A = this chain, B = another copy of it.
């Protein structure tokens, strides 16, 4: 492999000292325009690029942000991918690279992260976050941020989270404003925080508009097409005029059940889903020839904000502990006025 030149060679070629070159490549300190040009010329001629490893060692800072993704079944990879995309962008805008630790089930990363000196700070994402990791970074005072709101064993992390409560509340209110009162909800959960929050938003909206909460319209957590299908079949017995479904797969199943029952969307029943899997959502819309109204999580923005938050933290700036991101309600063609 062709060896790349170093800063000292550039300095020699330009007839200046190493520090002058350093100042030029870092745009720091004062360098006269004349010398700057000389140095830039030498850099170009030698095809020089700074050695990031050496720089990191000298600065005691890598400008690399770590992102740990605890993958699991059920939550679609695409969901994470978009967020990762956003984190990447946010980090990049602030001059950071991203090192993603993922795809290793149930593994602990924090020792490597806090010790290896490869990352300046870390973002944790995923449902099954390794407890040891949290405790470890926390005790070491290593800068970390959560994506997803939580509180673990008394530790209050810096976190950023989609505002599921508000998002679902707004969607439900939309249905209520259209005249619906018999609104089904598929996806209750006492374990999964986002699903829990969604139900909460649903309930808040009902309460605010004096619609009586009817537990018979609410169905257990659903992750798969089959779950959604079965839940919807049961729900239809209650003759709801609208339904909110917590998950793309379940929405597909539920929609199938609606079709099988000979009902039309939105004529006979209004449907609102969540776009946790946008690709699948689009595919599905395309297939059934309908634009489902969805509650959209701005995943890229979420990731960006997470990166900014983590970097603010690791750079020692004052950083708010909690950060909620608004969801967007996509008012498409699957809801109708009663």
> Which residues of A are in contact with B by a Cβ distance under 8 Å?
1-2, 4, 49, 51-54, 56-57, 62, 71, 73, 76-78, 81, 84-85, 88-89, 92, 99-100, 102-104, 111, 114-118, 140-143, 224-226, 229, 249, 253, 256, 279-280, 283-284, 286-287
Q: Are A52 and B118 in contact (CB under 8 A)?
A: yes
Residues of B within 8 A of A256 (CB): 287
Residues of B within 8 A of A89 (CB): 104
Q: Are A53 and B118 in contact (CB under 8 A)?
A: yes
Q: Are B2 and A287 in contact (CB under 8 A)?
A: no
> A283's contact among B49, B84, B104, B225, by CB below 8 Å, is which?
B225
Q: Are A49 and B225 in contact (CB under 8 A)?
A: no
Q: A68 to B78, alpha carbons, bound, how many Å? A: 17
Q: A51 to B117, alpha carbons, bound, how many Å? A: 6
Q: A78-B77, A104-B88, A279-B76 are in contact. Are A53 and B141 (CB under 8 A)?
A: no
> A286's contact among B51, B88, B225, by CB below 8 Å, is which?
B225
In the A-B complex, the 4 residue pairs with the closest CB atoms: A49-B115, A85-B103, A52-B116, A225-B287
Scoring A141, A143, A279 by chain B CB atoms within 10 A of each residue's CB, the highest score goes to A279
Residues of B within 8 A of A224 (CB): 283, 286-287
